[in-house]
Amino acid sequence: MERPSVEPTSLDELIRTRRTIKPPMMSDAPVSDEDLQAVLENANWAPTHGMTQPWRFRVYRGDARTKLADDLAQLYLTAIPPEEQKEGKADKLRKMPTLAPVVILVWMERQKIEKIRELEEIEAVACAVQNMHLTATARDLGAFWSTPPFLYKPEMNAYLGIGEKDRCLGIFYLGHPAEGDAWPKGRRQSIEDRVEYIDA
């Protein structure tokens, strides 16, 4: 079976050089429509059991980011009990979306007939986000997948206007790395400590 050729070493390098680039490490240079569309289109090619394609995205740019930032801070204060709130967290949420040129809310839309298990649908969305991250890296963009706990609360579903069984799975920040900043170094423990081989 013939398939398009992908240079293995190039793919290895792409995967291993992917890094988390948080909004304070991004410049205010706009992300092109072409780059944004590539990030979203490649998300759409993630593995999906039953072809449910459960990933959903809402993209915020320009002034919409400021309102989103205020809304997220308020959601945090509403959804998280006061005794569990972290000092400065609301202020951080009020700032972060304004530092990235593109902010994407990510959620899993539950299939109405629930043919596929919820966990598999969540896994599919995670694969879509990995595709987004790798596409960003390939296009010299920085990205950060943030998952603060309040996203999983009913208040977030109400904010998004999504179903009770849908699940918000993160905030994806996208932008150009700031000029002059060194690309972060990566590290991993040996894969041999995490693999068991059985040959007979």
Q: Domain extents for the chain?
A: 20-178
pLDDT category, 132, cuts 50, 70, 90?
very high
Taking 70 as the threshold, does the pLDDT of residue 34 lie above it? yes
Question: Which parts of 4-162 are beta strand (E)?
Answer: 55-60, 102-108, 142-146
Could you give the angle at the alpha carbon of 150 between the alpha carbons of 59 and 170, nearest 5°? 35
Class of domain 20-178: alpha beta
pLDDT tens for each residue of 158-178: 999 999 999 999 999 999 999
Q: Tokens for 181?
A: 């900043």
**CB 125: neighbour CB atoms within 10 A?**
24
> What is the structure's pLDDT at 182?
84
**Chain segment 188-199, per-residue pLDDT in tens:** 999 999 999 999
Mean pLDDT (the chain) is 96
Whole-angstrom Cα Rg for the chain: 18
